[in-house]
Amino acid sequence: MSQAPGAQPNLPSVYHERQRLELCAVHALNNVLQQQLFSQEAADEICKRPLSQLALPQVLGLILNLPSPMSLGLLSLPVRRRHWVALRQVGGIYYNLDSKLRAPEVLGDEDGVRAFLAAALAQGLCEVLLVVTKEVEEKGCWLRTD
């Protein structure tokens, strides 16, 4: 039996959320899961909750994508760009290794890096990538279980 040009054979129903605001991570999750399970609020809560559960000694470093204000001399422009920032522990001390800084900024111990992360997340529109070894990733031990 032939089909009309452009007609599709019996395809399964596919769940697909279209882009709304800047919620592409939420849409991507729901599209992969093939149903609307996550809202912006739920995704935000998940991002905040693992912060206290991070097993920082298991993490080689963190890479943050942050909003970065743009200026022209002393004039602040209403344009927001994105900037990637690295955080890393060296010799038992955590540092902000932002390439825009003249020198690494000391964040201190785990409490200091957690405070920095909390402040960055509170600004909104922040993404955090964890850099871990393959072994840590496979074991999933970058999160504390307690």
Catalytic residues: 24, 83
Task: Provide the β-strand partners of residue 36.
Answer: none
Question: How distant, in Å, are the alpha carbons of 6, 26, 84 from that of 39?
Answer: 35, 6, 26
Q: What whole-number distance in Å separates Cα of residue 96 and Cα of residue 94?
A: 7
C-beta of residue 108 within 8 angstroms of C-beta of residue 94:
yes
What are the φ and ψ backbone dihedral angles of 143, each rounded to 5 degrees? -115, 140
* List of E strands, 1-140: 61-72, 75-90, 93-96, 105-108, 127-131
